[in-house]
Amino acid sequence: MLSVHTSPLHQPGTGDAGGMNVYIVELSKQLAALGTEVEIFTRASAGGLPPAVELAPGVLVRHVDAGPYEGLSKEELPAQMCAFTHGVTQIWAGQLPGYFDLVHSHYWLSGQVGWLVAERWGVPLVHAMHTMAKVKNAALAAGDSPEPAARVIGETQIVRAADRLIANTAEEAAELVRHYDADPMRTAVVHPGVNLDVFRPADGRAAARARLGLPQHALIPLFVGRIQPLKAPDLLLYAVRELLDRDPSLADPGRLVVPIVGGPSGTGLARPERLRRLADRLGLTDLVRFHPPVGQERLADWYRAASALVMPSYSESFGLVAAEAQACGTPVVAAAVGGLPVVVRDEATGYLIEGHDPVHYADALARFAADPGLSDRLGRAAALHARRFGWAATAAGTVSVYRAATESHRFALRSAHG
Ligand code: UDP
C-alpha cells in the first residue's frame, strides 16, 4: 500500500491525518487477518524514525526518506515524488523477485507512485481516490482555494492506468465515470467501515457525559473532524447562534454545550484561530469548547455523550465520523453531500440537510432541544444501521477487487505477449 502524504501511525483528526489514515490502518489489519500481508510505504515526516514499524501482525509500515522531514505541506509534495518512488524501488530491490503481488495506492499522490512501480514490478495497480479535485472544486466553501490543475491531470492519469478503482459509494463511482471518464467495469464500490468493537453504545449517554464532565441534561451538538472550511464547523456555530436567538434560555448554565474535537488542517491552517474568533464574535465563547484530537476510545465517549453529531461538510467522500457516531448510538445531522446520504438515513438515524443554510441546521437542532428523548430514539436506529459498516466486510470486498485486478492484469499481459 502506498500512503505518501500521511502516515498510518499519525493521530487522525488534524493536519493531513483523517479518515484515510483510519481506513488504511483498519483495512490493513483486516486484510492481514484474511491472510494478505500488507506493507505500507509512507513518507518519513520526522527525523530518527525506524525504517520499518510493525503496526499489527502482518502489517508493516515502511518510512521512506523524501524531502525535509518536517514542515513540508501536501502542496509541496509533488516535487518529492521522484525521491519517494526511488525509496520504494530501493526497498523492493532488496527483496526476492515477486515479493509484491499488487500495489494499492491511496490518494492521487500515491497513485502517481503506484502507476510507476506497479508497471515496473509487473503487478496490478488498485487505486482509491479518497477525494477528487474536480468534485472538491465543484463544492468549495466561500473563500476556500481550489485544487490545482496539476492534481486534476494527475488523477486523470491514474484513472487511466489503474487496473481497478475502488470507490467508497455508488455516488463516488458515478463521479469517477462522469468527471474522469473512468471505465465502469474497472470501478468497484466497497464501503469503508467502522471499528464496531470501539464504536458501540457501551454504557450509554449519561455515563459518557459523567466521564467527560458534561452536564447531564444539556443539548450537546458535537463537531468532530479536521478544522477546515470544507468541513464547515463555522456553520454549526452560526446554527447555534440562530437557535439561541430563538430561545435565549438555552444559554442558561447546563443547557447547551458545543464541543469541537479536532485540529486545524489544510486551508484552515492559514488562520487556526479563525473558528475561536468566530465563536467569540457570535457571543458563544462560554458554550463552545475546543478540544485537540483524541484517540479512538476517548472519541467514542464524545460521540456517546452528544445529543447529535453535526457534519455540515461541503464535500465528503464517505464521512467516517458520521458512521462512528451512529455506531455509538448517536444520531447525525449532516449535509446531504457525497457519501453522507449512504451513511445517514434521513429521519430514521438523523437528519440530512440540503444546502448550507444555518437556519436549516438550527431547525434540526431545535427538534433535539424540544424533545429530550429524540437522541435516544434515533440513536437506537443509528446503532443498528451502523452495524452494516464493519471493516471485515470492507476487507472482504477489497480482496475481491484484488482478485479481479490480478485476473484482468494477467489477461492483459497474456494478450500483449500474444
Ligand atoms: N478522528 C480521531 N480523533 C479525533 C478526530 C477524528 O481519531 O479527535 C478520526 C475519526 O475517528 C475518523 C477520522 O478521524 O475516523 C475522520 O474521518 P472522516 O472520514 O470523517 O473525515 P476525513 O478526515 O477523512 O476528511
- Name the percent of the chain lying above pLDDT 70: 100
Can you tell me the distance from the alpha carbon of 36 to that of 326, in angstroms, rounded to the nearest whole number?
Answer: 30
Q: Which atom of ligand 1 is nearest to the CA of 231?
A: 25
Which residue segment(s) compose the domain that 351 sits in? 204-389
The amino acid at 120: R
Residues 240, 283, single domain; the answer is yes
Atom 21 of ligand 1, nearest CA residue: 19
Residue 268 has pLDDT above 90, yes or no: no
Do strands 258-261 and 288-291 pair parallel, antiparallel, or not at all (unpaired)?
Answer: parallel
Cβ atoms 194, 323 nearer than 8 A? yes
Q: Ligand 1 center to residue 152 CA distance, Å?
A: 25
Residue 321 has pLDDT above 90, yes or no: yes
In this prediction, residue 272 carries a pLDDT of 81
Band of pLDDT at residue 143, cut at 50, 70 and 90: confident
Q: Which atom of ligand 1 is nearest to the CA of 322?
A: 20
Band of pLDDT at residue 267, cut at 50, 70 and 90: confident
Number of domain units in the chain: 2
Radius of gyration of the chain (CA): 22
Can you tell me the distance from the alpha carbon of 382 to that of 389, in angstroms, rounded to the nearest whole number?
Answer: 12
The CATH number assigned to the domain holding 241 equals 3.40.50.2000
Cα distances (Å, whole numbers) of residue 47 to 37, 70, 81, 230, 353 = 27, 8, 19, 31, 45
Range of weakest confidence among 84-88, 138-142, 391-395: 138-142
What is the number of other CB atoms lying within 10 angstroms of the CB of residue 418?
4
Q: What's the half-sphere exposure (Cβ side, CA atoms, 13 Å) at 185?
A: 1
The ipTM value here is 0.99
Binding residues for 1D-myo-inositol 3-phosphate are 5, 16-21, 74, 107, 131, 151
Q: Ligand 1 center to residue 271 CA distance, Å?
A: 21
Residues 379, 251, single domain; the answer is yes
Can you tell me the distance from the alpha carbon of 107 to that of 129, in angstroms, rounded to the nearest whole number?
Answer: 5
Which amino acids bring their CB within 6 angstroms of ligand 1?
12-13, 18-20, 22, 224-226, 261-262, 293-294, 296, 299, 318-321, 324
pLDDT in tens, 155-167: 999 999 999 999 9
Cβ atoms 106, 21 nearer than 8 A? no
Q: What is the DSSP string of 167-212?
A: ESSHHHHHHHHHHH---GGGEEE----B-TTTSS-TTHHHHHHHHH
Can you tell me the distance from the alpha carbon of 362 to that of 264, in angstroms, rounded to the nearest whole number?
Answer: 24
Cβ partners under 8 Å of residue 338, min gap 6: 135, 169, 171, 172, 313, 315, 316, 317, 318, 319
Residue 198 within any structural domain of the chain: no
300 is written with which cell numbers?
A: 467514542
- Range 231-243 average pLDDT: 98
Residue 270 has pLDDT above 90, yes or no: no
In this prediction, residue 306 carries a pLDDT of 98
Q: Please provide the average confidence, as pLDDT, over all residues in the chain.
A: 96
Residue 268 within any structural domain of the chain: yes
Residues 159, 254, single domain; the answer is no
Residues 230, 281, single domain; the answer is yes
Cβ partners under 8 Å of residue 320, min gap 6: 19, 22, 23, 192, 194
pLDDT in tens, 177-191: 999 999 999 999 999
Backbone angles phi, psi at 410, to 5 degrees: -60, -45
Residues 173, 66, single domain; the answer is yes
Residue 13 within any structural domain of the chain: no
Q: Return the H-helix or E-strand segment holding 91.
A: helix 81-93
Q: Which atom of ligand 1 is nearest to the CA of 318?
A: 19
Residues 409, 332, single domain; the answer is no
Residue 12 within any structural domain of the chain: no
pLDDT in tens, 278-309: 999 999 999 999 999 999 999 999 999 999 99
Residues 108, 88, single domain; the answer is yes
pLDDT in tens, 6-58: 999 999 999 999 999 999 999 999 999 999 999 999 999 999 999 999 999 99
Backbone angles phi, psi at 190, to 5 degrees: -135, 120
Residue 183 within any structural domain of the chain: yes
In this prediction, residue 363 carries a pLDDT of 98
Q: At what angle are helices 320-327 and 19-33 packed, to 10 degrees?
A: 70
In this prediction, residue 188 carries a pLDDT of 98
